[in-house]
Structure 1
Amino acid sequence: MFKKVVVILVILLSNFSFSQSLPEGFVYLSEVIPDIEIELRYLGSHNFTGRPVPGYENEKIILSENAAEALRKIQQELENEGYCLKIFDAYRPQQAVDSFISWSKNAEDTLTKTEFYPNKKKRNLFSLGYIATKSGHSRGSTVDLTLINANTLKELDMGGNYDYFGERSHHNFEDITKKQRENREYLKSIMNKYGFRSYSEEWWHYTFRNEPFPETYFNFPVK
């Protein structure tokens, strides 16, 4: 009987997903939006540093409860129109931001220049506003995202790639097609409708206006 109980416990534990205890006011987005699409770029090497970023240990999206609830409402409205959200990044530990600073100081590391910053110098990325020493992401209510087709899960064409450091990423960039502009405006309008403000330099970057931790930069890992 004892051996049977042990076997059952082992099976149960093997199927149990251990998650960290989040600070009060934070949630895993998948618990609020179970069908949310995720491509956490900083967990892997397909990002502007060319390698996994410190502080990202699991493909989990963490946000403040307020921001997550707003995204749930956005997802619900989008699904009625045949679209969904896809998340690239949300809460970002300060240690990840610190690693970006170290990366920018290594002038010889240009592994990803062609894809992410072909016309910019690494040392200028901070002054140009593409990277910050203190990121709103670390406050827990900023999210990087795009729109996808709900049936095919294919990303809508926004006229520029995520984390591209250049004018093409700016909201007011003019050299894109009418459809690409409409897609950007559609994303912007629905995000604004539910309380998110855009960032002029990056079409994918939004911050919840009534963020609960406007002065706090967190450093717990994403796991």
Structure 2
Amino acid sequence: MKNIFILCLLLAPLCLAAQEIPLNKYGLPVVTTRQLYEQQVRADGQMRLIKVDNMAIDVKYATTQNFTKKVLYPFAAVYLRQPAYEALVRLQEFLEPMGLGLKIFDGYRPYRVTEKMWEIVPDDRYAADPKTGSGHNRGVAVDLTLIYLKTGQELPMPTPYDDFTEKAHHDYMDLDPEVLENRTLLRSLMEAHGFVALETEWWHYYLKNPSRFPLMDIGFEELQ
């Protein structure tokens, strides 16, 4: 206890910010106001959510063309915490000489959207249980694929995005050699840039130790 007290004295702004995060009905601390979010950013710049505007995006959740058949985001945008964003920028720069790039399907996801998804797919292989929250809610998870920069065409992958079958799993091997190579390439690149793969979704990656970033439930409108 003494060591914890000393640590909080040394890191008072961060400790204060953590103490002020309200708990939701599951007892999880969730940032729900722009004011609290900005307070955390002032205490630690890595908490900042950055809008991705220098990579291709295809945000299905801003349309009805997703597994919920509902519009979940008010507009198509991708936000990521600063360390996740910077890692992807480095990866994009690495890919460009090869004529390749990234296409992002999703990044930060408000907690309320995770609750809606769980109502439709209550399976933690493919959707996050609101009782624990998601790396997306923390702004450090990203859904993405590889594209050819010249045409914008996606490299062949095992399944379309958000295909909740075993074919989307990383250990599913009954695939064309080109598809297996592309899946392996994406995983190798993401892991080399500090991300961890979700074994049941070839497109989903998250930064190591995601819990150091708090869960958030702030709408896209408030982030503009």
Query: Considering the TM-score relative to the shorter chain, is it more than 0.5?
Result: yes
Q: Deviations over 1:106-156 (max 9, x none)?
A: xxxxxxxxxxxxxxxx5xx415x1111221100110000000001000000
Q: Shift of the alpha carbon at 1:42?
A: 0.5
Q: Shift of the alpha carbon at 1:210?
A: 5.0
2:61 is equivalent to residue 42 of structure 1: yes
Distance 1:132 1:64 in 2: 19
Distance 1:99 1:130 in 2: 13
2:168 is equivalent to residue 166 of structure 1: no
Aligned residues, how many?
176
- Unaligned runs of at least 5 residues, structure 1: 1-19, 105-121
Aligned-partner SS, 1:100: helix
Corresponding residue for residue 5 of structure 1: none
Aligned-partner SS, 1:203: coil
Distance 2:118 2:170 in 1: 25
Aligned-partner SS, 2:90: helix
CA RMSD of aligned residues (A): 1.7
Distance 2:169 2:95 in 1: 23
Corresponding residue for residue 11 of structure 1: none
2:210 is equivalent to residue 216 of structure 1: no
Give the TM-score of the pair, scaled to structure 2: 0.74
2:91 is equivalent to residue 92 of structure 1: no
Contact conserved, 1:43 with 1:58, CA < 8 A, in 2? yes
Corresponding residue for residue 6 of structure 1: none
* Counterpart residue identity of residue 92, structure 1: R
Aligned-partner SS, 2:180: helix
- Unaligned runs of at least 5 residues, structure 2: 1-33, 42-47
Contact conserved, 1:195 with 1:210, CA < 8 A, in 2? no
2:151 is equivalent to residue 132 of structure 1: no
Out of 35, 49, 58, the position equivalent to 1:26 is 49
Distance 2:57 2:214 in 1: 25
Percent same amino acid among aligned pairs?
Answer: 35
Alignment of 1:2-81 (within 5 A): 23=38, 24=41, 25-30=48-53, 34=54, 36-53=55-72, 56-81=73-98
Distance 1:194 1:87 in 2: 16
Distance 1:39 1:222 in 2: 16
More relative contact order, 1 or 2 (CA 8 Å, 6+ apart): 1
* Counterpart residue identity of residue 58, structure 1: F
Q: Deviations over 1:13-39 (max 9, x none)?
A: xxxxxxx99742211122xxx2x1011
Alignment of 1:202-213 (within 5 A): 202-209=201-208, 211=210
Corresponding residue for residue 17 of structure 1: none
